[in-house]
Amino acid sequence: MAELRCAGLVKSYGSRAVLQSVDLEVPEGTLTAILGASGSGKTTLLRAIAGFVELDEGRIEIGETVVADSGVRLPPERRGVGYVTQEGALYPHLKVADNVAFGLSRAERKAGRRTAEVLELVGLDSGFGNRPVHELSGGEQRRVALARALAPRPRLMLLDEPFSALDASLRTDTRRAVLDALAAENVTTVLVTHDQAEALSMGQHVGVLRDGRLIQHDEPSALYTAPADLALARFVGDAVVIPGVVSAGRVSCSLGDLPLAHSAADGPVHVLIRPEQIALVEGSTATVTGSTYFGAETLVQLLLSDADEQAVTARIFSHEAPKLGDPVALDVTAPVVVFPA
């Protein structure tokens, strides 16, 4: 059963349409990542759910409660949502424990049990309670902010780019801690991010927002292997796009006659191939023109030696990478996706 249901959300600022009829359902106990470039309307969506943005149109239900509809606008404090912002917004005048206990009843604040419980949940020991917040590292600040939002047992957790200001090494650990804490509390979550890897790795579902429209809402693997359009294909990962022609359930292009991932009408198409689908074998149909080293893997730039001189990129293990100028042949390893040209 869906814990969060949004239907037909519309919001404009002046003449700028920020949300254009967004529908979104998030099943209970799952995490949906909303992926979008800056200006796509993702933060507005989150703030509308939280109750900080008044919608022009649309209906939002959290659990059994209609929190926004025409003529209904429940104030943020009565929506029962947890809301964590990019910077964490910890209260500088309060200690860690007082920050975490902030949304609890007076009795629960005094007892302190819930405070210790959620602090432990996010991976901080109770000794943190007495620390002033400005002594915390970035990762610790995010954890405290999450603990504070979790403490009152919200029905729905909203995370607005909570990891984007953290450096890479800290981000992985903090993500893990956040996911574990959310799972332990079994809280339904919407995470907003501009980071594809973050969306794909954290969300059970990923919704992609572009120009205020939810253009695809799917499981991460489906989003990656079967994106709704070419622009989205490029947005969620590296993409090689070459022209081709579909006929009889296969597509022929400069990389050969390839099987289709899903059926398509005959005619000219754009063929989407992920760089990791391309294997390098012995032969001389292409030349290595450059490479970018990423440690475990390397992105190899190649030029096909056919008439079109098509440039493609392959992702291979670094120890198998060829040298600059080497002749190679290419082999596409899995079915490909096509888009009408």
Q: Which residues of the shown chain bind another protein in the complex (CB under 8 A)?
A: 50-52, 75-83, 85-87, 89, 91-94, 102-103, 132-134, 145, 148-149, 151-152, 158, 165
Smallest distance from the beta carbon of 104 to another protein, in angstroms? 9
Using an 8 Å Cβ cutoff, are 250 and 258 in contact? yes
Smallest distance from the beta carbon of 83 to another protein, in angstroms? 4
Using an 8 Å Cβ cutoff, are 188 and 156 in contact? yes
End-to-end CA distance of the chain: 39
Give the nearer residue to another protein in terms of CB position, either 152 or 335.
152
Smallest distance from the beta carbon of 82 to another protein, in angstroms? 7
| Rounded alpha-carbon distances, angstroms, from residue 125 to 96, 118, 121 | 11, 10, 9
Residue 294 CA, chain-centre distance (Å), reads: 22
Smallest distance from the beta carbon of 210 to another protein, in angstroms? 23
Give the nearer residue to another protein in terms of CB position, either 57 or 87.
87
List, in order, residues 6 or more apart from 209 with CB less than 8 Å away: 22, 34, 35, 36, 40, 41, 42, 45, 215
> In 274-310, where do the E strands start and end?
278-293, 297-304
Smallest distance from the beta carbon of 84 to another protein, in angstroms? 8
CA nearest to 134, candidates 177, 84, 88: 88
